[in-house]
Amino acid sequence: MKIELSQVSRWYGNVVAVNDVTMTIGPGVTGLLGPNGAGKSTLLHLMAGFLAPSGGTVTLDGTQVWKNHRIYRDIGLVPEREGVYGFLTGWQFVLSAAKLHSLPDPEEAARKALATVEMEEPKDRRVETYSKGMRQRVKVAAALVHDPGVLLLDEPFNGMDPRQRLHLMDLIRAMGTSGKTILFSSHILEEVERVAQHIEVLVAGRHAASGNFRDIRRLMTDRPHLFRIRSSDDRKLAAALIRDDSAGGVTLGRDGLEVQATELRRFARLLPQVARAEGVRLHEVSPADEDLESVFSYLINRSS
Amino acid sequence: MNTVVAGITYRALLGRRRVVLLLLLPLALIALALMFSFFGGEDQRTTVDLMRGFALSTLLPLLGLIAGTGVIAPEIDDGTIIHLMSKPISRPVIARTKFVVAASLVAVFAAVPTYLAAWILVGSEDGIASGFAVGTLVAGIAYAAVFLLLGVVTRHAVTIGIIYALVWEALVGSLVPGARRFSIQQWGQTVADQITTSPFFEAEVSLGFAVPALIIVTLAAVFLTGRRLRSYSLTGDE
């Protein structure tokens, strides 16, 4: 099954949450990556039929998603908000999902779904007594109970301990391999890399990049990098680097140099050569912007 | 009507503190009736005053408000409604189920206690008990529908509901005679008046207006609730 978004925008008053996004989510695991506030949840809600696009169309195998309750036969949704009735037990919660789907054998389906997320043992406790990770798992069980072709998960790993996280990652990967269409959102690159075969990057409501994790990694390595350098003669080194094209900009500060490298590989090769030629000894070369936020801000500027 | 939706809704309402709210007013009504009967006030005039002045005008709108908004507004607030709405059930079915639950709660917690209170005071004399019970029931059903709609339209359903019941129905209704025609409470009185033969009670709105008004308001509110749920949107924190 595939979800297709065609020139989808969504705005709230004057604020644009999702801006002209076109993408197709097909079988396998797709990670929706972006910083907080990028519009990931908005995009997920648009795909799940819980938000009307202000422009463009969202379809599931060619069928309109908005105002169409039939799509939920094929979609399982794990929202980010808790959304679990605290007064029900885990078993009652998942069983109610099975019954709401009018499954022929709701008990068996609920048992199977709870087993899939390893929640058989605490299933008779009320949901309000569960930890955040356990709640997350019963939510996943309820979303899986009708064996949907499409599974949408909004920040599914939030609040899970490492063991639970690994277990859910394995589960998502296995479902992806079995041919289901799975999309999950996350703001953590490592999470997405470990689970998703395909990554869609969303930055400031725009579709900033798309590809497998190698493509995304490459994109992130090829961007301009900022380095902090301390040496025996910062002034001399700065002058030499400016003469060379590999540095886009050099700032001389009290603690050393800040160098904007336009091409990472060329810069990495040239820096020692330039230093040796000038007789300057390098004390420290460290990347100043390896965090994801700076990668995202680069992508924002690139896409706008 | 969906039994799973109804079951979860009943549990949410009856299993929590809200049930105390549902019980408080009917118990107060019965306590008042017992008190009047103990102090020898069990005449028709006192009974009609209690029914009109408390059962229909205070207990009923408040219970309608608690039940009508209570079956859906808390679920919208805490996001649990997504559990029901992300299933292949049409939204109007969810709306109708929620309405049936709210209406049944009003019947149990308002119409039955109204009958009991009147019966404690005057037995089945002049059909006062059954008249007010039926009046409370039909008006309660309309209240449940209207406040259900309010619960899906605004986050301030309870405030707006109280303003409607207290300001429009009680205050404006008592000062501006024309406003009484547009009051669910008055329609309930009209229905009660058809059944009771007590000389101490006379409704002000005609039956020809009250009955169609009750039916139209109820059906329209349930219909609009379903429509509203069809376009229910999840707006994230972003």
The partner residue sitting opposite A99, judged by closest CB among B4, B11, B12, is B4
Q: Do B238 and A36 touch (CB under 8 A)?
A: yes
Chain A, residues 20-79, CB within 8 A of chain B, namely 36-42, 45, 48, 50-52, 67, 69-73, 75, 77, 79
Q: Using H for helix, E for strand and C for coil, what is the string for B111-158?
A: HHHHHHHHHHHHCCHHHHHHHHHHHHHHHHHHHHHHHHHHHHHCCCHH
Inter-chain CB proximity A77 and B233 less than 8 Å: no
Strand ranges inside chain A, DSSP E: 3-12, 15-25, 28-33, 55-60, 63-64, 75-78, 150-153, 181-186, 198-203, 206-211, 225-231, 247-253, 256-261, 282-287
Q: Which letter does DSSP use for residue B197 in this model?
A: -
Q: What's residue A303's pLDDT? A: 58
Least Cα distance to A126 among A95, A88, A85 occurs for A88
Map tokens 């979303």 to a residue: A143
pLDDT at B238: 37
Tell me what pLDDT residue A292 has. Answer: 60
B233 touches chain A (CB under 8 A): yes
pLDDT of B145? 97
Residues forming a β-bridge with A25 = A3
3-state secondary structure of A300: helix
Shortest Cα–Cα distance, A270 to chain B (Å) = 43
Query: How many C-beta neighbours within 10 Å does residue A197 have?
Result: 15
| A300 band by pLDDT with thresholds 50, 70 and 90 | low
pLDDT digits (tens, 9 = 90+) for A2-26: 999 999 999 988 889 999 999 999 9
User: What whole-number distance in Å separates Cα of residue A76 and Cα of residue A71?
Assistant: 9
Report yes or no: B137 at the A interface, CB cutoff 8 Å. no
The distance of A256 to chain B (nearest Cα, Å) reads: 39
**What are the tens digits of pLDDT across the range A179-217?**
999 999 998 878 888 899 999 999 889 998 888 877 777
Predicted pLDDT at B214: 97
A247-276 residues touching B, CB cutoff 8 A: none
Is the confidence at residue A43, as pLDDT, over 90? yes
**CA-closest candidate to residue A154, choices A170, A146, A143, A163:** A143
pLDDT at B237: 43
pTM of the predicted protein model: 0.86
Q: 10-residue block means of pLDDT along chain B (238 residues)? A: 95 84 92 90 86 91 94 91 95 97 96 95 91 96 96 91 83 77 92 90 90 97 96 69
> What is residue A258's three-state secondary structure?
strand
User: B201 or A220: whose pLDDT is higher?
Assistant: B201
Instruction: Find out whether B186 and B205 touch, Cβ atoms under 8 Å.
Output: yes
In this complex, the residue of A37, A51, A69 whose CB is nearest that of residue B234 is A51
Residue B222's nearest CA partner among B99, B76, B139, B104 is B99
Four-residue CA torsion sign, A57, A63, A69, A71: negative
Among candidate residues A62, A51, A52, A55, the one with its CA nearest the CA of residue A24: A62
Is residue A251 helix, strand or coil? Answer: strand
pLDDT at A288 over 80: no
Q: Which domains does chain A have, with CATH numbers?
A: 3-220 (3.40.50.300), 222-303 (3.30.70.100)
Average per-residue pLDDT for chain A: 89
Q: For residue A48, which residues of chain B lie inside 8 Å, CB to CB?
A: 86, 234
pLDDT recorded at residue A246? 67
Kindly identify which residue of chain A lies nearest to residue B10, measuring between CA atoms.
A87
CA distance B106 to B108: 6
Residue A17 is predicted with a pLDDT of 92
User: Is residue A290 predicted with pLDDT exceeding 60?
Assistant: no
Beta-carbon neighbour count of residue A81 at 10 Å?
15
**pLDDT exceeds cutoff 80 at A219:** no
* Chain A residues closer than 8 Å to B90 by CB: 69
